[in-house]
Structure 1
Amino acid sequence: MKFAWNESSRQTQTDLGGSRAMLHYWNCQGKAGIPDMQEDLRTLSINVLAATAFLKPYDFIGSTDLRNRESSTESYRDCLHVVLKYAIFLMLVPYRFLTGAMLPHSLASIGRAAMSLKGFMMNIITEESAALSKGKPVSGGLITSLVRALDQKTPQQPDPGDFIRETKRSGLSVDEILGNIFVINIAGHDTTANTLVFTMMLLAANPEVQGWLHEEIITVTQGKPIGDWDYALFEQLKRCQAVFLETLRLYAPITGLPKITSRGVQILHIGDRPLAIPPGTEIFPLLLGIQTDPSYWVDPYVWRPSRWILHPKDAPEVREELFVPQKGTFFPWSEGPQNCVGKKFSQVEAVAVLACLFRDHRVCIKTRAGETEEHAKRRAQDCVNDVNYQLLLKMNHPDRVKLECMKV
């Protein structure tokens, strides 16, 4: 699925607008510190996804205000927020069992959110399909690409409970499109948001890297107002990309990639020795294993974004280049023809957030009474390394380390 220029430009503007709103909210907190850095980054990420992929823009709501408001089943964003928050629970308990009148409000609200989200997605599919069939303008979002692949034998306004299932089809069925949309929601939201949470905490523990970023951002943007930035700046912000890539190297949201061999025998070469893998064998390449292998990475467990920046000696006119790892040694988006279609989407989002934030601001750790700055840094690093794996790699208690946003 091609990530077109107009989609990239639209996403960049959405990223920057959302980042500025979040930055304003963080600034307003003053010395009290950021109430909930993790929740704010999740909100930012979900807003970007809703506006870019599904053309449903929303204003940024800070974590304090979000906590005090009732989620609305009339809002695509609110429904998506609830479903993603309780994704594991909904995998165990189908939402159709959570809509009964006798259920507690907390459970019923999850069921209603899941039901409304599916309704939203069905409406989007129906509207896009009808527009395509009549030759009318379509949204141009990510959904359009999926609807174009809709099996023409599927009704234009399908009943979700009456899908056409055939062994040989020319396109996707409606339930397959719904499944893809839901996966895109999870993959396009939680993965990037989680990585940004790790990134912010690591940057707070390494303030010198923030200065390193600031130097690049000032040089590249040349005083241009944030509102005038565009996608063309993305490729030039190599240090911002390096910070994101280094975080993914050590804290990839998906630590392993389940694969299965096809109908034929697959030959895997380990050094000079061929290894035959029988058909239908499940394998599980571990990202963190290869991405921290000292054979390929110097000081593999040290978070050092500068390792991704090269200074080419044979091309002095080129200031800095981005390091390209050896094939098969870094693949947080997987590799090959079935790699993640959201790779560029997540990169643009992360770079936009970092550039917007660290142009004029710094993220600092709020020290405790009698605590030295060095001890506070160690506390933040310990927090980063205290993780769990529930669908994705996450910090257990990021709220243990309070951060504050300060203007330079």
Structure 2
Amino acid sequence: MLLYWTTKPSVATSADDLRTLSLHVLSRAGFGKSFKFVGHDERQTSTTPSNSYKESLQTVLENLVLILGLGTKFLAYPWLPRKLRTVHEACVSFQQYMTSLYEEEKQAFANGEVRDHNLMTSLVRASQDEAKTSGSLTESEIYGNMFAFNFAGHDTTAHTFTFALYFLAAHPEVQDWLSEEIREVLGDRLPSEWDYRADFPRLKRCVSVMYETIRLYTVVPSIKWTDSRSQSLTVGEKTVVLPPHSMVAPSYGSVQTDPRFWGPDSLAWRPSRWIKLAAGSDTDVVSKPGEEDFSMPVRGAFIGWSDGVRDCPGRKFSQVEFVATMASLFLNWRVDPTVAKGESLDTARRRVENLIKTDSGSVLLLQMLHPERAPLVWKKR
């Protein structure tokens, strides 16, 4: 993706390309399938979902509202427009692919073969192990889990990437701050030499960019339920009793921008608010990578992945994907908005940040609605 972006005079398709990246990561981690990155402007329009696992999954994810609202049986009617029938073809194709992969994994387990380690393999092998002693995941439950992981991890991460990229384009000082840490931690090593256990915990600034972006733009707010029992909720000096089977929708915007927790600049995008000097560091100097800790606020002030025992199971996966991408992009490169005729670069940066604030909305998930209105330019650092 970086090669594609850096060889173009400007990129108006960042959001689309980041969705492709997210899809590729999930394809590899979920199913063991790897694909060569193809930029938005290079795609072939003739590929159909029935011919490709990737195209079928992408079509399903991009049309989830239609699928959930109308149902796959309705989408199969021959009198429907071609676009809707294509969505049905994608559903059928993806189901066939998962069935085939499931059977292959079952057979490999029975033969004692060690295959590629991915989520589908892990679920099938765990299911077969459990089947010997107790109840196990059924085939349909495995499919359901696979679809949930793919849906929950695709657009959510892609939209967060887009918000973060445009914020960074508007804040070159944060790019410099990021690059300093990335160079300190990763040096001249190739990405193939990066190590999750050793490197990820040290890339605190990269993580802070994700947290700060989600703090202001939570892509998918979580909703909670009281289940079959009533629950007491204390707010200040008042206790409210919530009846059984009540839906609770927290106001993320209020909680995560409350000046009591986030200070007078609570509406500003400032990733450094998540970083503090490590214990024992010299408090009279500006902090440097290796002298910093990641600082969480008081519990309940940030609920970007929900909270409690039922928080998002994909939290760490999304963080690792985000950090690895930031490290790849900003190790040796920087990004700026394109400058329109008659404006300065500083004006262009303010325009981009204003676009984030005024042109974002929910289409199933919170997202930038028209990021293509602010093309970006990549330059060697």
TM over 0.5: yes
Match of 1:216 in 2: 181
Asked if the contact 2:12/2:371 (under 8 Å) is kept, the reply is no
- Cα distance in 2 for residues equivalent to 1:226 and 1:190: 24
Match of 1:114 in 2: 91
Q: 1:151 to 1:284 in 2, by over 3 A?
A: farther
Q: Which runs of 5+ in 2 are unaligned?
A: 283-287
Q: Which moved more, 1:207-216 or 1:225-234?
A: 225-234
Q: CA deviation at 1:95?
A: 2.6
Asked if the contact 1:35/1:63 (under 8 Å) is kept, the reply is no
Match of 1:258 in 2: 223
Q: CA deviation at 1:129?
A: 3.4
Q: CA deviation at 1:315?
A: 4.3
Q: Does 2:272 align with 1:306?
A: yes
Asked if the contact 2:47/2:55 (under 8 Å) is kept, the reply is no
User: Post-superposition, which runs of at least 4 consecutive aligned residues in structure 1 deviate over 6 A?
Assistant: 151-154
Q: Structure 2 residue aligned with 1:328, among 291, 294, 300? A: 300
Asked if the contact 2:30/2:146 (under 8 Å) is kept, the reply is no
Q: Structure 2 residue aligned with 1:81, among 58, 65, 73? A: 58
Match of 1:41 in 2: 18
Partner amino acid, structure 1, of 2:59: V
SS for the counterpart of 2:310 is: coil
Match of 1:393 in 2: 366
Match of 2:207 in 1: 241
- 1:99-248 aligned at under 5 Å gives the runs 99-147=76-124, 150=127, 170-231=135-196, 232-248=198-214
Match of 1:25 in 2: 4
- Cα distance in 1 for residues equivalent to 2:104 and 2:237: 55
- 1:358-377 aligned at under 5 Å gives the runs 358-377=330-349
- 1:348-367 aligned at under 5 Å gives the runs 348-367=320-339
Offset from partner CA, 1:187-226 (integer Å, 9 cap, x none): 1111111000001111001111111111111111122233
Q: Does 2:370 align with 1:404?
A: no
Q: CA deviation at 1:249?
A: 0.6
- Cα distance in 2 for residues equivalent to 1:23 and 1:315: 36
Partner amino acid, structure 2, of 1:172: L
Asked if the contact 1:151/1:173 (under 8 Å) is kept, the reply is no
CA RMSD of aligned residues (A): 2.3
Q: Does 2:361 align with 1:382?
A: no
Q: CA deviation at 1:109?
A: 1.7
Q: Which runs of 5+ in 1 are unaligned?
A: 1-21, 155-168
- Cα distance in 1 for residues equivalent to 2:85 and 2:241: 51
Q: CA deviation at 1:150?
A: 4.5
Partner amino acid, structure 2, of 1:50: S
TM-score for the superposition, normalised by structure 2: 0.90
Q: Structure 1 residue aligned with 2:67, among 90, 97, 101? A: 90
SS for the counterpart of 1:252 is: coil
Q: CA deviation at 1:145?
A: 4.0
Q: Structure 1 residue aligned with 2:233, among 246, 268, 272? A: 268
Offset from partner CA, 1:316-344 (integer Å, 9 cap, x none): 59511111221111121111222111111
TM-score for the superposition, normalised by structure 1: 0.84
Match of 1:62 in 2: 39
Q: CA deviation at 1:272?
A: 4.5
SS for the counterpart of 1:267 is: strand
Q: Which moved more, 1:101-110 or 1:84-93?
A: 101-110
Q: CA deviation at 1:125?
A: 2.6
Offset from partner CA, 1:67-126 (integer Å, 9 cap, x none): 645234232111111111111122222233334455443222221111111111222233
- Cα distance in 2 for residues equivalent to 1:402 and 1:199: 15
- Cα distance in 2 for residues equivalent to 1:308 and 1:340: 20
Q: 1:66 to 1:206 in 2, by over 3 A?
A: same
